[in-house]
Amino acid sequence: MDRESDRSCTPAVARPYDVAAIRADFPILQRRVHDRPLVYLDNAATTQKPQVVIDVEADYYATTNANIHRGVHALSQQATDAYEAARATVGRFINAASTNEIVFVRGTTEAINLVAQCFARPRLAPGDEIIVSTMEHHSNIVPWQMACRQTGAVLRVVPVDDAGEFDVDAYAKLLTARTRLVAVTHVSNAIGSVVPVRQVVDLAHDRNVPVLLDGAQAVSHRRIDVVDLDCDFYAFSGHKVFGPTGIGVLYGKTAHLEGMPPYQGGGDMIRSVTFETAEYNDLPYKFEAGTPHIAGAVGLGAALDYVSAVGMEAIAAHVRDLLADATGRVADIPGLRIIGTARQKAGILSFTLDGIHPHDIGTILDDRGIAIRAGHHCAMPLMQRYGIAGTARASFSSYNTPEDVDALVAGIHEVRRILGG
């Protein structure tokens, strides 16, 4: 797949944005919770699945289920075709230069661990440095800590200001002759801040330092073009973008992937094996040992096609409107503090209420059928930066409505009435 074919396969015209029609695509939104209509505002944790994704995955098991790459029979060939078609869909979606640069993994966490162990670890020596930021998810902290412990390297951390803005000036000063890798989030899962990743990449590349971007939150909020970003690695999870759980993607530039040893040994990642040695398979298969999550990959392909049909720009504009509405309306609630007020934000509203634990906020909202997330959001260093244990987090997606914002605001007032915040 080349970039020319990518352009020809991208839908030229997205359908008009109709939130009622979009909601009808998601069967779970018809549910009632505690005898209330479901208001699902936990999209940063996982997104719901449209019927087309559910149908495609079920149809795979009902009509095509077979192992891939290894069989000459019809089902195996059809399953292989479906799996590789999904890889091509992913490549088009993020504008990769080649499908060889698309590695299927279990999710963002596995993708980052793969890079930490197969790319970073062999290149690290005592005193070398890896740069992350204060707002990283634990999945973009702990793998680098492990690599540092294994090699004697050191983790350096870019600060964020009170608004949750990535400190570009501090980052530039952290880049030194000892920097071996930069690994930062594209969008914060905890507070929604959008990192100026193109600037991050450019500054790193000026020193020939490779960059990994954690795109778990960005992938459902903005168009991703890895060629334009010029990042060395990009990682995301299918379940964050309306796809199945247990499937994700590591994009890597071909030269990097070719130079990396495999992450796991087993079937399908080899050309030949003797008791003395093994010859590894070509890209991307040398990183896909064993039977993969075939149905998950097929479902992810369907999810990305669904997003393309709706239109990423339309989704992003809709979510921006919801976030602006919610932010403006909660700002005047006594005792409420918004955590993360960066100028560029994705659809995440993270907040605290004076004297009220986030879990209590979440519990009372749940009783009203409103699903949010409460806690540290696997971003404990960021919570420590703000001097709090956690937040209540409402996160918006394509199918949320102004009425969902109404329910959230009314629910917060109910929390204050009950608990006296």
Residues acting as catalytic residues? 378
Query: Strands 391-395 and 336-338, how do they pair?
Result: unpaired
**Sign of the alpha-carbon torsion through 254, 12, 87, 116:** positive
Strands 32-33 and 36-37: antiparallel
Query: Which among 340, 313, 314, 312 is positioned nearest to 327, based on CA atoms?
Result: 340
Handedness of CA 3, 214, 302, 62 (dihedral sign): positive
Full DSSP string of 126-173 = TT-EEEEETT--GGGTHHHHHHHHHHT-EEEEE-B-TT--B-HHHHHH
Q: Which residues contact 232 (CB under 8 A, 6 or more apart)?
A: 210, 211, 212, 252, 253, 256
Give 266-328 as a 3 state SS string.
Answer: CCCCEEEECCCCEEECCCCHHHCCCCCCHHHHHHHHHHHHHHHHHCHHHHHHHHHHHHHHHHH
Helix 312-330 vs helix 402-419: angle between axes, to the nearest 10 degrees? Answer: 30
Cα–Cα distance list, 66 to 249, 267, 281, 287 (Å) = 22, 15, 21, 20
Cis peptide before 284 (omega within 30 of 0): yes
What is the rounded CA–CA span in Å between residue 369 and residue 52? 25
Please answer whether residues 303 and 242 qualify as being in contact, where contact means their C-beta atoms are separated by less than 8 angstroms: yes
- Residue 407, H or E segment: helix 402-419
Q: Which two tokens stand for residue 155?
A: 């983790």
C-alpha angle 415-372-189 in degrees, rounded to nearest 5: 130
Query: How far is it, in rounded angstroms, from Cα 375 to Cα 388?
Result: 10
Give the H/E segment covering residue 57. Answer: helix 51-59
